[in-house]
Amino acid sequence: MSLLRTVPVGGRALTHRRARRAATAAVPRPIVPTSAWLPTAPCSPQVCVASARSLADVPRAVLRLAALLVTLLMGVGLLPVFGLVPVSRRNALIRGWSRAVVRAAGVRVRITGTAAPTGGLLLVANHISWLDIPLLAAVRPARMLAKAEIRRWPVAGGLTACSGAFFIERDRLRALPDTVARIAGALRSGAAVVAFPEGSTWCGRAQGRFRRAVFQAALDAGVPVQPVRLHYRFDGGPASTAPAFVGEDSLLASLWRVVTARRLVAEVEVRRPIPADAHPDRRALAHAAELGPTGGELAWAHVALATERMP
C-alpha cells in the first residue's frame, strides 16, 4: 500500500505529492537576477506607492514642473563656470543649487548633521527616489556611483556624467573589481563618492541590505564611511511613498506624483562617520553602515500594508 495520501482534484485522484506540485506551478515565480550585482526590490508602484491627486493640483504641478526645468537649465548653463570658481565656493554653489532643485519640485528639505567638507569620504545612503541624488549633493558634492542607464536620462543624465560619476553596468560582474579600484583611487585623492549600496530603489517603508563591494574601496583607500538616512514624509504627518521610484515605474510618473503632492518633506539625517579601520572587513563595515527605520515607522508600515490588503 502506498504511503502517499490521495487528494481528489476535479474528479481525479492525485497523490499528495502531485497535488503539491500542481499548486506550486500555479504560483508565479519571481524573476531571478542575472548577476549578483543586479539586486531587485519587492516594491512596485501598484502595491507600495500611495498618492492622492485631484484636478485642483494640476495648476500647481505645472508651475512646479516649469520651476524645476528652469532650475535644471540654470545648472547646465553654469557648468562651464564651475571650473573657474575656487573649490570651496563651487561646492557651496552646488549645494545651494541641489537644494533649489528639490524645492522647485515642491519638496521641503530638512538636513540634520554635517559631512566633512574636504578629504576622501564614502557617503552611503538608502535609496528611494531620484530626489535622493540632489539631496546627497546638498550634503556634500561628490562623485556618484550610478547605474549605466542613468547616462541616457534627459538632462539629469548629462549632469550626472559631467559631475564625474562612476557608471557601472550591473549585469557585468567582471567589471566590478575595476570599478572598485577606480573608486578607491578617487577616495585616495581626497574626493567624496556617493553610493547606494542597496543596489535598487525601495518604497521607503522597508529597505534592502547593503551590498559589500563598494565598502572595499573605502577599506583600500583608508577613508571613513558616512551613512546618510533619507526619509520622505508629509509635513507634520506620516511617511509618504509618493516620491518612490520603484519597479517598472517610469521617471515621468514618479516626477508627476512628486509635483502633485502637498506638504512633502525630505528628511536627511547625516550620521557619524565610521573610520575604515574600525572594522576588519567589508562585510562588517557594510553592516555597521546599514540604516534601519525607527520602531514608529515600522509600525506605520505594518498598518499601511494591512490597510492596502483589506478587501
Q: What is the pLDDT of residues 79-122, one digit of tens each?
A: 777 778 888 888 899 899 999 999 999 999 999 999 999 999 99
Do the strands 264-270 and 225-234 form a parallel or antiparallel pair, or are they unpaired? Answer: antiparallel
Q: Are 62 and 195 in contact (CB under 8 A)?
A: no
SS3 sequence of the chain: CCCCCEEEECCEEEEHHHHHHHHHHHCCCCCCCCCCCCCCCCCCHHHHCCCCCCHHHHHHHHHHHHHHHHHHHHHHHHHHHHCCCCHHHHHHHHHHHHHHHHHHCCEEEEEECCCCCCCCEEEEECCCCCCHHHHHHHHCCCEEEEEHHHHHCCCHHHHHHHCCCEEECCCCHHHHHHHHHHHHHHHHCCCEEEECCCCCCCCCCCCCCCCCHHHHHHHHHCCCEEEEEEEEEECCCCECCCCCCCCCCCHHHHHHHHHHCCCEEEEEEECCCECHHHCCCHHHHHHHHCCCCCHHHHHHHHHHHHHHHCC
Q: What is the pLDDT of residues 127-178, one digit of tens each?
A: 999 999 999 999 999 998 877 777 676 666 666 667 678 877 766 667 778 8
Residue 53 pLDDT: 66
Residue 97 pLDDT: 93
Ramachandran region of residue 113, left (φ > 0), alpha (ψ -120 to 50) or beta? left
Cell 578607491 sits on residue: 184
- State the burial class of residue 307 (Cβ atoms within 10 Å of its Cβ: 0-12, 13-18, 19+): exposed
Q: How far is CA 63 from CA 66, 68, 106, 129, 202, in A?
A: 5, 9, 10, 21, 28
Residue 3 pLDDT: 38
Q: Look at residues 109, 89, 177, 102 and name the one whose alpha carbon lies nearest to residue 134.
A: 102
Q: What is the pLDDT of residues 171-220, one digit of tens each?
A: 666 777 888 899 999 999 999 999 999 888 888 887 888 989 899 999 99
**pLDDT at 34 > cutoff 60:** no
